[in-house]
Amino acid sequence: MPSTRPEGREGLVSARVQALVAHEGSHDATGMRIGIVVSKYNDVVSTPLLEGAVEALQLHGATASDIVVAWVPGAFEIPIAARELAEHGEVDAVVCLGAVIRGDTAHFDYVAGEAARGIASVHAATGVPATFGVLTVDTLEQAMDRAGGRLGNKGAEAALAAVEMASLLRGLPTGTSPRRRGRR
């Protein structure tokens, strides 16, 4: 249902904005099929990210049979598997998980940059949301803090962002805008 007062944000939203029709996705994953691409490199980090993502999806209604996991060698390889799932896996969204930890060389920048660019290109090319749960950090400690440690679990956040985007896209009106009319 379109809402002009997104839950919990009433105090922040002006009357002018409240007067508009607004759409917002939910975290209800019931009936959704979700792909997860996870990197084996730094698996001491990516495994808890995966655990967090799966737990979050199941807490929000996804069933085990609706979650498909693809392991790839490293973050650099995430985009190609994510694109395959988005195009042919019949998924509503893809969650991308991994950890790129800065070393002494420029390798970090290439791997992290290509992972981010490649994941963004998946949803641009396919229209299927692909979320970025790839940690890009300086140390293993920073990574563990974000993989179920004191700063939460970015895998769970990426999973819920994927569900929210899939839900939003389902609810957006299509074919009604003057720019689209006649072009379908």
Q: Cα-Cα-Cα-Cα dihedral of 4, 5, 9, 14, to 10°?
A: 70
Q: What are phi and psi of 48, to 5 degrees?
A: -65, -30
For residue 172, the 8-state DSSP code is: S
Q: How many C-beta atoms surround the C-beta of residue 146 within 10 A? A: 22
Decide whether 85 or 166 has the Cβ nearer to ligand INI: 85
Binding positions for ligand INI, 125-164, rule CB under 6 A: none
Q: How many C-beta atoms surround the C-beta of residue 183 within 10 A? A: 7
- By CB under 6 A, name the one of 53, 97, 101, 130 that touches ligand INI: 101
- Closest separation in Å from C-beta 157 to ligand INI: 18
**Distance (Å, whole) CA 145 – CA 47:** 14
Taking CB atoms, the residue at the shortest distance from ligand INI is: 74
| 71 sits near ligand INI (criterion: CB under 6 A) | no
Q: Site map for ligand INI, 14-53, x if CB under 6 A? A: -------------------------x-xx-----------
Nearest to 155 by CA among 79, 97, 111, 106: 97
- Closest separation in Å from C-beta 162 to ligand INI: 19
- By CB under 6 A, name the one of 107, 117, 170, 180 that touches ligand INI: 107
Q: Which of 23, 60, 107, 123 is catalytic?
A: 107
- 107 classed as catalytic: yes
3-state class of 90 per DSSP?
coil
- By CB under 6 A, name the one of 48, 52, 79, 98 that touches ligand INI: 98
- Closest separation in Å from C-beta 97 to ligand INI: 10
Strand order in the sheet with 93-101: 67-72, 34-39, 93-101, 130-137
Residues binding ligand INI (CB under 6 A): 39, 41-42, 73-77, 98-101, 103, 107-108, 111
Instruction: Give me the active site residues, please.
Output: 107
